[in-house]
Structure 1
Amino acid sequence: MRIATIVKDLNVYRNYPPFLEKLAERTELHLLYLYGEPFRKSDIRFHKSKVGKPSSISIGRELASLVNSVGIDVIYVLDGIFYEKVGLMASKMTDKALVVRLRTNELKVRKLSGENPLKTFLWHQIHKCVLKGSSGISVISHELQEYAQKIVRGRKPVKLIYHGVDCQQFRPMRMDKPYENAVLVVNGLRRLKGAEMLLKVAKQTPKVHYIVIGGADKVYLNSLPPNVHYHGFIERENMPTYYNMAHLTLMPTLTEGLPDVLLESLACGTPVVASKVGEIPFVLKEAFGWVVEEYSAEAYVKVLLEALNDKERLREMGMKGREYVVKNFTWDKFLNETLKLFEEVLGQH
């Protein structure tokens, strides 16, 4: 089966789970990209864009040309208005099946970000048009599945497909913790990832040290409590070290799909404390983590202090969490379900 997809910047994509690389192991995957350098060890067939001034229209035409020249069966694009418009245009120009993978509740994100309501409305009309014009939709959470089903009204297949995690890369390591009570927070200084909640909790738990990595909104960097340690952006290959240096991973996020952080932390044997959003309550079981029902600093503080008070229990929970991820979140399962969706849309197209 021949698949075509598009990625704007390969350097940015390197920090995401390798689902396209995995897909290329079982299909002939052609990837059109605008910026960055192709991966050296990959089965992906890379195609550098030749468009001087890229736009959704010009790139859509270029993707359509690639689809026709190679003989593509399915166009597979990620969510995001640029990718969606490019994919739909190429699909209409070539009469090929289009599958969209939804990873984020973009409507919720835009509203939480305080975007201009008119701009959100216009985006949503385009987004709905793309989903209705697609041949099938892959989602990573029950919330997104329900959202997409309301839009397509049973006319397209909407499949819940979890991505995998590399449990060889993300694994428990023997290492000393840097603090008596060490908690990891990934992208924790982003507003939508719960930066304000993190700072409130940190001020109420001075004996707990919060190791924060990833992106940060500048407004929070100048007012960090002494027990919040910001390490900046970390390359993906170094992430397992950070998961292993913590007793817990904290996720006070406002919105999520199926967080990579959740699966990677559990794969490393580090239990998780997280908000009740997105797919988290469906995946995070009480045997290896805590879903905080009430979004308040008091609720998070109570859970964190109780959890950190019993390190042996945390170790046992970490082992159970890893077993759960190893069994249920494999790349083979992702590939089998994704290819099944491709075959279904080809049969109906």
Structure 2
Amino acid sequence: MRIALFTEVFLPKIDGVVTRLMGTLDHLADMGHEVVVFAPGHPPARYAGFRVVPVRSVSFKPWYPELRVGLPTSNIAKTMERFHPHVVHAVNPIWLAAYGTMSSKRRDLPMLASFHTNVPEYTQRLGLEWITDTTERWITWIHNLAEVNLCTSQPMIEQAAAAGIKNLDLWPRAVDTQTYHPGNYSQRMRERLTDGHPEDRLLVYVGRMSKEKDLDVLRGVIARAPKGTRLAMVGSGPHLKQLEAEFAGTPTLFTGYMSGQELAEAYASADVFVFPSTTETLGLVALESMASGVPVVAARAGGIPFAVPDGVGGLLCEPHSSEDMSAQVNRLLADESLRSALAAGGQAEMEQHSWRAATEKLVESYELAIERHWSDYVPPRWRIKTFGRPMPRAT
């Protein structure tokens, strides 16, 4: 199968969406499919053997400087004409991926869209409330051009349905258990994350240092933690400097960005993983922590209850409540047998969710989009004006 994939984010940026795409592309390559990726900014020329087409972009300053907004260019149309895809996959369509959506309709191509980020909620967190309603209507309209819409958790399916998005299905969660496992525990990493005090209890957060992650909650958590508890904040982002100032005077270490084996060791060397974000559609970092044998304390919001079974791989707390998160964290720190039980339960749960199975489900969804598009096919009477011309059906 030939797949044209349009995404709003890709390497060198790393986040949950990019990690999901990397795992998916790796397995699509293993399964013998062909993919061309359209991504904003300065991505690598190839990934997993697939061509990555760089698309002209601008920074989303001043609200989110590290986010690149892709702009329509003529090289997209030329590449689409040469590649002749069987299906188009729009990842989180709002800018570049939305153009990919309209491009697929212009060419009468089957389309699948996937919903990974609650963009309307992000606009509120970034002080852009005046565009929230318009953004939600735009996203709903774009998604409803697709034959299939995938969400990464059941709560997000319900939220998308409430917004009026149709043709919804689940793209199962997946985690790389070969990379993330308890065997990555490292005394040297623990010494680093505890700033030279490995005997202390260690809380770890992994993710963007940004406003929508509700990281101010962790200031109250570390303040209420038992003496001899430390917090390591792994990652970078637009609010890093502000957070460093806010956490000054607390036993908190900001490590900067980590990846690969270094990140795997950071997860496995913690006592408890803390995740206060209320805007997650899934929460991949929570899955990676559970795969690493570390229990999670996270906010009961968004896709997190789907990702973290309460009482199995971790404990859930009330959203935006440093008091409740502190209570759950301190409960775990005081009860080693509970920590061990949750660690074992979370790891066993993650062993059931392989990248291969999730990618096979995605391919089935591509096939469903193709079937829906071409069954009882009638050429549309309208066209969205974009670069290029309608394509004949791919064979």
Normalising by structure 1, what TM-score? 0.89
> 1:221 aligned to 236, 240, 244, which one?
244
Q: Which amino acid aligns with 1:131?
A: H
Cα distance in 1, alignment partners of residues 283 and 357 from structure 2? 17
Q: CA deviation at 1:20?
A: 2.5
* 1:234 alignment counterpart: 258
Q: CA deviation at 1:131?
A: 1.1
1:275–1:292 Cα contact (<8 Å) kept: yes
Q: Which amino acid aligns with 1:196?
A: D
Cα distance in 1, alignment partners of residues 177 and 261 from structure 2? 13
Residues 266 and 52 of structure 1: CA distance in aligned 2, closer, same or farther (over 3 Å):
closer
* 1:25 alignment counterpart: 30
Q: 1:127-186: per-residue Cα shift (whole Å, max 9, x none)?
A: 222112122111112232123334556xx4211112421111111124334242101012
Alignment of 1:138-153 (within 5 A): 138-152=150-164
* 2:44 alignment counterpart: 37
Q: Which amino acid aligns with 1:162?
A: P
2:71–2:96 Cα contact (<8 Å) kept: no
Q: CA deviation at 1:45?
A: 3.2
> 1:196 aligned to 216, 219, 222, which one?
216
* 1:127 alignment counterpart: 139
Alignment of 1:207-286 (within 5 A): 207-216=228-237, 217=239, 218-224=241-247, 225-285=249-309, 286=311
Cα distance in 2, alignment partners of residues 120 and 83 from structure 1? 19
Q: 1:212-232: per-residue Cα shift (whole Å, max 9, x none)?
A: 111241222113132111111
Q: CA deviation at 1:9?
A: 4.8
User: Aligned with 1:12: secondary structure?
Assistant: coil
Are 1:103 and 2:128 an aligned pair?
no
Q: 1:104-133: per-residue Cα shift (whole Å, max 9, x none)?
A: 11112222333142x223323322221121
User: Aligned with 1:11: secondary structure?
Assistant: coil
Q: How many aligned positions are there? A: 342
Identical counterparts, % of pairs: 20
Q: CA deviation at 1:245?
A: 1.4
> 1:74 aligned to 87, 94, 107, which one?
87
2:114–2:150 Cα contact (<8 Å) kept: yes
1:184–1:248 Cα contact (<8 Å) kept: yes
Q: CA deviation at 1:64?
A: 3.6
Larger RCO of the pair (alpha carbons < 8 Å, separation 6+): 2
Q: Which moved more, 1:74-83 or 1:313-322?
A: 313-322
* 2:171 alignment counterpart: 161
Q: CA deviation at 1:83?
A: 2.9
Unpaired segments ≥5 residues, structure 1: none
Q: Which moved more, 1:78-87 or 1:9-18?
A: 9-18
Residues 56 and 243 of structure 1: CA distance in aligned 2, closer, same or farther (over 3 Å):
closer
Unpaired segments ≥5 residues, structure 2: 59-67, 191-197, 374-395
Q: CA deviation at 1:279?
A: 1.9
Normalising by structure 2, what TM-score? 0.79
Cα distance in 2, alignment partners of residues 344 and 196 from structure 1? 43
Are 1:322 and 2:347 an aligned pair?
yes
Cα distance in 1, alignment partners of residues 54 and 242 from structure 2? 37
User: Aligned with 2:13: secondary structure?
Assistant: helix
Q: CA deviation at 1:81?
A: 1.4
Residues 45 and 84 of structure 1: CA distance in aligned 2, closer, same or farther (over 3 Å):
closer
2:44–2:52 Cα contact (<8 Å) kept: no
> 2:200 aligned to 156, 180, 184, which one?
180
Residues 128 and 188 of structure 1: CA distance in aligned 2, closer, same or farther (over 3 Å):
closer
Cα distance in 1, alignment partners of residues 276 and 70 from structure 2? 35
Q: Which amino acid aligns with 2:211?
A: R
Please give the root-mean-square deviation of Cα atoms over the aligned residues, in Å.
Answer: 2.5
